[in-house]
Structure 1
Amino acid sequence: MGKQFDALSDAHRSFIEAQHMFFCGTAAAEGRVNISPKGMDSLRVLGPNRIIWLNMTGSGNETAGHLAETPRMTLMWCSFDRRPQILRTYGTARTLHRDAADWDEMLGHFGDRLGARQIYELRIDLVQTSCGYSIPFMEFTGDRDTLTRWNEDKGEAAIRDYWDTRNRKTIDGLPTGIDANLG
């Protein structure tokens, strides 16, 4: 059933690109483990051992705080349609804030989006597939535009204020490094 690989194959990449969402898991040395669903065409596979994903403004900022202390990350995709499969990538990740030397280059993979908060780069050291036989069938009916509209309604200055007041620390009090975006 489950298989492990050193890198993503073309078949793995095709599977990833066919999914409408993924999940990100991170944890600091102590405190809560965070698992977040992600969507909005925010992920790019740049090679067999490299993935980047664009993190939009949200109510929490756990991933950035966790990676500042412990740079482990797991990404997971699961199929909700005909093909039962789960795929996980494990590795070491870094957070790119807007002041990173390669921010513009990395953002170019997505286009500049209002509310873009961080970009995460995962260097993969293990890929694992498993059956997904218990995953229910679900039908994709479309992407939500709620976050895009929220960002447009707020505007850039209010988004930065939101980062300043709501995204500086994780729920366990770890700093997220968001001040790099505020300067």
Structure 2
Amino acid sequence: MHVYDGIDDRLAQWLTSQPVFFVGTAPLGGDGHVNVSPKGMAGTFAVFDRRRVGYLDYYGSGSETIAHLRENGRITLMFAAFDGRPTIVRLYGKGRIVLTQDEEFQSLRTAFPKQRVVAQRAIVMVELDRVSDSCGYAVPRMDFVADRTVLDLRQEKKGPVPYRAYPETKNAQSIDGLPALEDLVERTRPPG
């Protein structure tokens, strides 16, 4: 294992070239559920500097990450090499949600190459306090075929209007009842 003093250019290039990464968060309560979410699609993760990264967040079936970050900010991003050198990199830190209506959203959004988005909810920004790697000897070798287009096609087919209710319905609370978007309804409602 190696602990880095932040993300250098070589590591930034490696991170942004991975086709998938995983986000882990948890509530403070010991009886709450730990959440791990897979993330992907080229151009949805960005390295801002040695100690700051972010990823695009979409409206979806849940809002565990948002609820956990609002409660305690703890987050870990994990990247694993499925080809090449067997490596796992973990980015630990404090996360925060930048909603599409927030003042800094537009300036942060320019760092992400992916532009085709209908139902974007936020950008998850992470201030890193630890960057480390470990061996990925048990991670299988797999071939990356392509990003799935299902999310983009589904959102484009539905258009932005159906997502207007998500902040107060599907994304209102975590599965443990923590507030996610319910009290931010007007700030999180997609246009349309």
TM over 0.5: yes
Decide whether the 8 Å contact of 1:6 with 1:125 is kept in 2. no
Q: What whole-Å deviation, never above 9, does each CA across 1:42-64 have from its counterpart, x for those lacking one?
A: 10001110101101121111110
Q: How do residues 1-183 of structure 1 correspond to structure 2 at under 5 angstroms?
A: 2-30=1-29, 31-41=32-42, 42-110=44-112, 111=115, 113-177=117-181, 178-179=184-185, 180-182=187-189
Indicate the larger mover: 10-19 or 138-147.
10-19
- Please state how far the C-alpha of 1:112 moved relative to its aligned partner: 6.4
* Kept in 2: contact 1:45–1:52 (CA 8 A): yes
Task: Classify the secondary structure of the residue corresponding to 2:10.
Answer: helix
Structure 1, gaps ≥5 residues long: none
Unaligned runs of 5+ in 2: none
Q: Distance in 1 between matches of 2:27 and 2:166?
A: 24
Which one is further off, 96-105 or 29-38? 96-105
Distance 2:5 2:34 in 1: 25
Using the size of structure 2 for normalisation, the TM-score is 0.90
Give the AA of the match of 2:15.
Answer: I
3-state SS of paired residue (1:174): coil
Task: State, as a whole percentage, how many aligned pairs show the same letter.
Answer: 37
Q: How many residues align?
A: 182
Residue 12 of structure 1 and its aligned partner are, at CA, apart by 1.5
Distance 1:57 1:39 in 2: 14
Letter aligned with residue 189 of structure 2: L
Q: Which runs of 4+ in 1 moved over 4 A?
A: none
Output the CA distance in 1 between the equivalents of 2:174 and 2:134: 31
User: Which one-letter code corresponds to 1:63 in the other structure?
Assistant: T
Once the two structures are superposed, residues 17-69 of structure 1 have per-residue CA deviations (whole angstroms, 9 ceiling, x without a partner) of 22101111111102111110001121000111010110112111111000010
State how far apart, in whole Å, the 1-side matches of 2:158 and 2:178 are: 26
Q: Partner amino acid for 1:123?
A: E
User: TM-score normalised to the size of structure 1?
Assistant: 0.94
Q: 2:159, 2:110 → 1: CA distance? A: 21
Cα root mean square deviation, aligned: 1.5
How far off its partner does 1:164 sit? 2.9
